[in-house]
Amino acid sequence: MNRRKYLQALGALFATGALGGTTAVAANSRSEKAADRADRAATLYNEAPTGIALPDIPEDNLNFFLANDLGRNGYYEQKTIAELMGKIAEQVDIEFVVAPGDIHHFNGVASTDDPLWMTNFELIYSHPDLMINWFTLCGNHEYRGNTQAVLDYGRVSRRWMINGRYYSKLFELDKEMAEIFFIDTTPLIERYRTNEDKYPDAGLQNIDEQMRWLESALAGSKAKWKIVTGHHPLYAQTEKSKSECEDMRRHVEPLLNKYKVDMYLCGHIHNFQHIQPAGSQVDYIVNSAGSLARKVQPIEGTKFCNDNAGFTLFSMNDQAITFYMINGQGKILYEYTRSK
């Protein structure tokens, strides 16, 4: 039973008196108050947030957010976008958040006690409907700090789900399964690996071991839908070094093609992009920053691009994946469905 159905059922129990009540209240009064509580619960969890026009997204689908490049201590649009995510989560029944890196900008975190955990994450994403699993990764900014603290923070926060530097999660749909493979991309890029002063942990990671794991995990997956996510893009229009995408393609693209991965999700570029390279079956999704965005231009293979800050909502079932790129004002900028 999902969260919304649970609260509606709980309200119904109050309304029928099944959970009892204080004996000091007359039966009729108790029933009226219980019914009022049930009405308030139903309203809270079914009413569309003011000013946000969303399509009818089935709550029985697997619904999740993609959010990255967040950590600005609430500044720029971070707090506004976080509140919007919470409001939409009320309506859509979001089950989890995929957060592929740069939750902390600049120099990452120093420890699990670093105050940035509060100012970048806990006090920003504080809406009750965002108290769900956040499946996270290290981005290049986390690699400027203590990456082990990022891995260990799950012992502090129950919603911080990171099962190693790379891992996979299997999700049930109706009759089919979806699997998301989380990869650690900063060590795959040479300019980070060779800059020991700025990214001390990057060169310490065994990239051959990670790629062997990814190939084994993809080869063994029985899921109908396969999604890979990491912080850095394989394809994107970017003002950053072109070597980043080249390194990513060299390591990752052959496996995406070989094992017929459906989508690759990333961030890092701070704008929205959907790219379908010629001859590829993979949809490459660049999610914008949840705080400060950057300009973007189309390139070969671009289906859509936009320089607004925001996040992406995914809705999956046995037959299709639909995603909605949403800006900080709650406007759906782009919608796309992949079916099979």
Residue extent(s) of CATH 3.60.21.10 domains in the chain: 62-339
Task: Strand 263-266: give its sheet, edge to edge.
Answer: 167-172, 177-182, 225-229, 263-266, 283-286, 272-275, 302-306
Task: Say what the alpha-carbon torsion angle 297, 264, 143, 213 is, to the nearest 10 degrees.
Answer: -150
The pLDDT value given to residue 37: 36
Mean per-residue pLDDT pooled into runs of 10, the chain (340 residues): 45 38 35 39 38 83 98 89 96 96 95 97 97 98 98 97 98 98 99 97 98 99 99 95 96 98 98 97 98 96 98 98 97 97
Q: 283-286 and 177-182: which strand pairing?
A: unpaired
The pLDDT value given to residue 51: 55
The pLDDT value given to residue 54: 84
CATH top-level class of 62-339: alpha beta
DSSP line for 72-114: STTTTTHHHHHHHHHHHHHHHT--EEEE-S-SS-SS--SSTT-
* H or E element in which residue 339 lies: strand 332-339
Residue 260 falls in which region: left (phi positive, over 0), alpha (psi -120 to 50) or beta = left
The pLDDT value given to residue 2: 53
The pLDDT value given to residue 40: 37
- 292 vs 257: CA distance, rounded Å: 32
The pLDDT value given to residue 76: 87
